[in-house]
Amino acid sequence: MAKGTAKRKFDIMMKTSDGVVIVREDVCRDVVKDRDAYVAVEGVFAAMAAGDAVNFPVVREAIGHADALYGFKSGFDRAGMALGVKSGGYWPQNMANSGISNHQSSVFLFDPDTGRLQAIIGGNYLTAVRTAAAAAVSISHLARPDASILGIMGAGHQSVFQLRAALQRRQFSKILGWNRSADALPRLAKLADEYAIPFEAVTPDAMTQADVIITITSSHQPLLMADHVSPGTHLVCMGTDTKGKQEIDPALFSIGTSFTDEVAQSVTIGEAQHAIATGLINEAAIVPIGRVINKDHAGRTSDDEITIFDGTGVGLQDLALASVAMRRAVEAGSATTVSF
Ligand code: NAD
């Protein structure tokens, strides 16, 4: 059956159903792969830049219980017809107290024509793959085609997803890894080994060798300084998604060209917040990556240019992946439908 016909049949089935589809975390893992995430996230960034998709203001609050940060990210993608909300946050004691991930989230999708609740989808795995996909999209569009050394700073939960997605975008011949505590680096070394790429544990100053550097930590002070970065490098700043976090020297923003998923987030909760606050750059200097995808901006213009992607994480990424998970799980018979 042609793809368009299958999609129409699926849409009609979802509209006429009186049930709500539930897609469990383990099912999301089975039905949404890195390639699906890449295509969905690239499409969402393009739709945002074209004015076809809008993220609504983010809410994120300390709830005054369990040291938790709770919030929601919501939006509407008219191009992909995805309307919904990801709700959840960070519960720092989860792993120690109950062995479950500190990051907890769920996605709710609604029918854009009627507002009816369509699906509830586990958001933990999808958050990791959509974040890694954003980094991968930036590498595809902004890193030098001949980039061969990949640096990664941070070795927490997200890092493995980041590394795997990045390895699919360029022919990397070496990986340099740094983490505050070296104990966590073997998880990155193991993945490098699976791809038969040499892995080296390094100090941040060794990142001068890297052509692409991913930062994926929860740091609140710069870890990667301007003199750790060589001309022509693509920086992928993924850890800073909250006011006060910081991973790179703000001076890098004045010597590099800045790109982001969403400018409004980049200047407030993203890595660029510090360069903006100190007047090193202004908001107009930050380019939505969707413009590069849509060929409305040249992106990198020379082999010497330092490019920076400030990946802040937008709700539309979650909705796009949740839509893929819903469709695939229903088609595979692995979703549960309940009357509602
Ligand atoms: P995690 O808790 O599993 O790992 C945290 C990592 O940060 C570890 O490598 C740790 O060593 C490092 N770290 C913590 N404090 C540090 C400090 N002061 N200095 C240097 N390193 C420090 O977290 P995770 O799930 O891997 O997430 C990493 C970061 O990515 C978090 O800040 C998270 O909020 C962010 N994140 C961003 C997005 C996005 O869309 N941009 C999405 C999900 C997570």
Q: Is the pLDDT of residue 1 over 60?
A: no
What does the pLDDT read at residue 78? 96
Predicted TM-score (pTM) of the model is 0.95
Query: pLDDT for 144-160, tens place per residue?
Result: 999 999 999 999 999 99
- 8 A C-beta contact, residue 24 and residue 121: no
The CA 159 to ligand 1 mean position distance, Å, reads: 8
Average pLDDT over residues 205-216: 98
Distances (CA, A) of 94 to 74, 90, 127: 25, 9, 17
pLDDT at position 16 is 64
- Residues shown for the chain: 340
pLDDT score, position 55:
96
Q: Which residue has the higher pLDDT, 152 or 9?
A: 152
Q: Evaluate whether 123 touches 148 at the Cβ level (below 8 Å).
A: no
The confidence score (pLDDT) of residue 18 equals: 72
pLDDT of residue 2: 60
Task: Please list the helix, strand and coil fractions of the chain in percent, rounded to the nearest 5, in that order.
Answer: 40, 25, 35
- Which of 4, 5, 335, 311 has its CA nearest to residue 161? 311
CA-CA distance, 167 to 131, in Å (whole number)? Answer: 15
Check pLDDT > 60 for residue 310: yes
pLDDT value at position 9? 66
Provide, rounded to the nearest whole percent, the portion of the chain with pLDDT above 90: 93
The alpha carbon of 203 and the centre of ligand 1 are apart by a number of angstroms equal to 18
- Best probe residue, ligand 1, of 218, 235, 259, 269 (max atoms within 8 Å of C-beta): 218
Pocket around ligand 1: residues whose beta carbon is below 6 Å from it? 103, 127, 131, 154-159, 179-181, 184, 216-220, 223, 238-239, 241, 245, 311-313
Question: Confidence band (pLDDT; 50, 70, 90) for 13?
Answer: low
| pLDDT tens string 109-135 | 999 999 999 999 999 999 999 999 999
Measured between alpha carbons, how far is 308 from 143 in angstroms, rounded to an integer? Answer: 10
C-beta of residue 311 within 8 angstroms of C-beta of residue 262: no
Q: Report how far residue 99's alpha carbon sits from residue 151's, in angstroms, rounded to the nearest whole number.
A: 30
Torsion of CA 93, 97, 102, 108, to 10 degrees: -120
Q: How confident is the model at residue 4 (pLDDT cuts 50, 70, 90)?
A: low
3-state SS, 170-239, equals: CCCCEEEEECCCHHHCHHHHHHHHHCCCCEEECCHHHHHHCCEEEECCCCEEEEECHHHCCCCCEEEECC
Averaged over 266-286, what is the pLDDT?
97
Average predicted confidence (pLDDT) for the chain: 95
Is 86 labeled as catalytic in the residue annotation?
Answer: yes
User: pLDDT at position 3, please?
Assistant: 60
Q: State the average pLDDT over residues 276-299.
A: 98
Q: Does the structure show a pLDDT above 60 at 311? A: yes
Surface-to-core class of residue 26, CB atoms within 10 Å of its CB (0-12 exposed, 13-18 middle, 19+ buried): exposed
